[in-house]
A and B are shown apart, each in its own frame.
Chain A
Amino acid sequence: MNQRKFTPLLFLLPGCAILGAFIFYPMIQAIWLSFTDYNMIQKNPDFVGLANYKELFADPLFWKVLGQTLLYLVIVVPALVFLPIFLAILVNQQLKGITFFRSIYYLPVVTSMVVVGIAWKWMYADQGVLNYVLDTFGVIDEPIHWLTSTSTSLFAVMAVTVWKGMGYYMVIYLAGLQAIPTNLYEAADIDGASKFRQILHITIPLLMPSIMIVTIMSSISAMKVFEEIYVMTQGGPLNSSMTLVYYIYNEAFDSLQMGYASAAGVILFIVTLMFSIVNIAFMNRREQAMKG
């Protein structure tokens, strides 16, 4: 009431100063850089118009990388949407020691991607455990060069992304599952519905909000995949596991083509923006639904 005009600003100032300096200002600069030939060495970059974008669209590697990024998305997102549902159902049972199992499944989430990447690099070794297990069950006759063959490297890295992310999305689904009233299942039990039918007709429909959240979150993070590639394959062999962010990183910090890399960054932004718009629209709708 006797609140002075600048009081709200004082509260907002520190946070907004940081967001301004490290998000809004860099955002404008990134767009500007994408129209220049900035490369760290020469101090005064020239404005080159759309040259970076033209070069980008003419680069077959860019299209390969973009294609691989979308392939990443198309495979990793469905896996991260569906597998964790079953994990969540599994750990939502009233059993002794169930919290222990929940923690075990969450362990890869809290472990840094570098250690996860190293552990899997060792699993993927030619004489490693994965080849041994597949050999024992007769799936393969000779070892697969998971990370060092152009036909498998991208998929091998995808599997690690899924393995590390499952626990996180499992917990999101667990929250969703626990919000489903148990009397629905009791009613279905009395009607003689099988467990499978109960999952199909009760669990999945009522879990839809969580499924939406997981779809959006995992899509955005799949577009930005970097660490597992850096740790396990460095984009190789022959760029077969390179994705968009790794490409940007390489162009910016290896080749020092900051202007060119910024143009690729703007493309990344446009693609993730499309997912984010869906996200915001969905969040707003949910907030309104909760209020109403």
Chain B
Amino acid sequence: MKLNAEALKQEPHERIAENEAQQTHPKPKKMKRKQKKTKPAPRKIIKTTLSYITLILVSIIMVGPFLWLLATSLKSGSENIFAYPPKFIPENPTLANFGAVLEYFPFFTYLFNSTVVAVLTVGANLLFCSLAAYPLARMNFRGKNIAFILIISTMMIPFQLLMIPIYILALNLGLQNTYLGLVLPHATTAFGIFLMRQAFLTIPYELDESGRMDGANAFQIWWRILMPLVRPSMVTLAIFTFMMAWGDFLWPLIILNDQSMYTLPLGVQSLQGNFSSNWRYIAAGSIISVLPIIIVFAILQRYFIAGAMKGAVKG
């Protein structure tokens, strides 16, 4: 890495020297740069303004579809939602669509189901992954490497291949339309074990030793000494698992056929069938359904983004 950086420091310098011989442009450019050093104000303002314009344009692309859905959900029954050109601001904004859709769309049932599934999945992953990661990181036993390789290898198997046998298994175990059926297939992930193992590896061994001197057993060392020290990784894992469980669509689609057990994504999808082309209701239902995750995200955004960054660094 260091060598690379050194090489790069030199490279642009040489390349630019070469270019200067061929091009006439670089010189005035250099003058401008020098001016910038002494009088930074006007150039900087232009640069900042351009940055903000770009930032705002991209923002429109990223939230535009949601805002258009929101605008549609607020339009009253007398307004033509298929008007062309589209009207971005509702004529008589109304919450009537939300009231109406809530009569047919058991939002709170879906929200409750999603919450139960997400909380149980996160809890199970935090517990089982950190349990399994502990001996893999800090104990010596026969077959340790094989166990680790087998666990990591599960990351390579697509769920889309497994869903058929898991469906048959879940039916045989009577797990159709149950919370357990939704949670169990995702209750432990190889990614979680890997993440927690990396976290345990960074903690000095002396802590285990001193714990052992005080007569603590392996379980107490894990729970009292190590677990409090790996909290940041637990947060990362919790957010990863939460996102996975909250947004999961394919598995609930397969294992649920009882509407009262639907999670939010399935509930929202069913809006499309129930209100075939009533886009006011579909829009209102969709907007309601994203509010919980947007609120959670707004409060915890720092952790969401930091967690994704850390997850990436960890691979």
The interface of chain A, by Cβ under 8 A from chain B, is 1-3, 5, 7-9, 11-12, 14-16, 18-19, 21-27, 29-30, 33, 87, 90-91, 93, 95, 98-99, 101-108, 110-116, 118-120, 122-123, 125, 127-129, 132, 136, 163, 166-168, 171-172, 174-176, 181, 184, 187-189, 191-194, 197-198, 201-202, 205-206, 210, 213, 223-224, 226-227, 230-231, 245, 248-249, 252-253, 258, 261-262, 265-266, 268-269, 272-273, 276-277, 280, 283, 286-287
The residues of A that contact B78 with a CB separation of less than 8 Å are none
Q: Given A27-B162, A268-B161, A280-B152, check contact A167 B62 (CB 8 Å).
A: yes
Q: Please tell me if B246 contacts chain A, counting CB pairs below 8 Å.
A: yes
Residues of A contacting B: mostly: helix
Q: Given A12-B135, A112-B246, check contact A30 B165 (CB 8 Å).
A: yes
B15 to chain A, nearest CB (A): 7
A225 to chain B, nearest CB (A): 10
Interface residues on B, range: 35 or more
Q: Given A22-B166, A27-B162, check contact A115 B286 (CB 8 Å).
A: yes
Query: Which 6 pairs show the lowest CB-CB distances between chains A and B?
Result: A15-B132, A8-B135, A26-B165, A265-B161, A276-B156, A175-B309
Q: Are A3 and B218 in contact (CB under 8 A)?
A: yes
The residues of A that contact B85 with a CB separation of less than 8 Å are 132, 136
29 A-B residue pairs with Cβ-Cβ distance under 8 Å, sorted by A, are A14-B132, A15-B151, A21-B169, A33-B165, A93-B51, A95-B48, A101-B59, A106-B305, A112-B289, A112-B290, A114-B269, A114-B286, A115-B265, A115-B290, A118-B271, A119-B65, A120-B65, A123-B64, A128-B86, A136-B85, A175-B310, A175-B312, A191-B16, A192-B26, A197-B15, A206-B5, A261-B164, A262-B164, A266-B161
Q: Given A11-B132, A15-B131, A227-B250, check contact A107 B312 (CB 8 Å).
A: no
Q: Which of A1, A99, A129, A224 has the most CB of B within 10 A?
A: A129
The residues of B that contact A276 with a CB separation of less than 8 Å are 155-156
B170 to chain A, nearest CB (A): 9
Q: How far is the CA of A27 from the CA of B84 in the complex (A)?
A: 52
Q: How far is the CA of A14 from the CA of B129 in the complex (A)?
A: 9
Q: Given A25-B169, A95-B51, A105-B59, check contact A269 B132 (CB 8 Å).
A: no
Contact of B147 among A12, A123, A227, A252 (CB under 8 A): A12
Query: B238-252 toward A: CB 8 Å interface, digit per residue (1/0)?
Result: 000001001101100
B97 to chain A, nearest CB (A): 14
